[in-house]
Amino acid sequence: MMTDEIIKDSNELEFVVFCIENVAAKLGVDADFVYKALTEQSDILNNYIVPEYEVLHTQSKEYIVDDILRVMVEKGVEV
């Protein structure tokens, strides 16, 4: 994994929003809760989702959401 990647363009930003909203929907929580979990409780947004954009955005919605949830569990993020 790469570290502390920044969002480079509108495609990556749209993907990040897509990830946050769909993880929130799967968990039945507010998107703000998920954003904080991915940024304040962990480094998942900048150290996993953004750096892995090229691979992740080619996968299905279900795969992406399940993968992010798996990473959240691995990092000890409470969901």
Asked if residue 58 is part of any domain, the answer here is: yes
Asked if residue 21 is part of any domain, the answer here is: yes
How many domains, in total, are found in the chain? 1
* Residue 71, helix vs strand vs coil: helix
Which domain, by its residues, includes 16?
A: 10-74
- Is residue 1 very low, low, confident or very high in pLDDT (cuts 50, 70, 90)? very low
Asked if residue 62 is part of any domain, the answer here is: yes
pTM given for the model: 0.91
Asked if residue 50 is part of any domain, the answer here is: yes
Query: What are 1's two structure tokens?
Result: 């994994």
Average pLDDT for 64-72:
98
Question: Residue 23: how many CA atoms within 13 Å on its side-chain side?
Answer: 28
pLDDT above 90 as % of the chain: 89
Backbone region of residue 42 per phi and psi (left: phi > 0; alpha: psi in -120 to 50; beta: other values): beta
Query: What are 57's two structure tokens?
Result: 């955005």
Asked if residue 4 is part of any domain, the answer here is: no
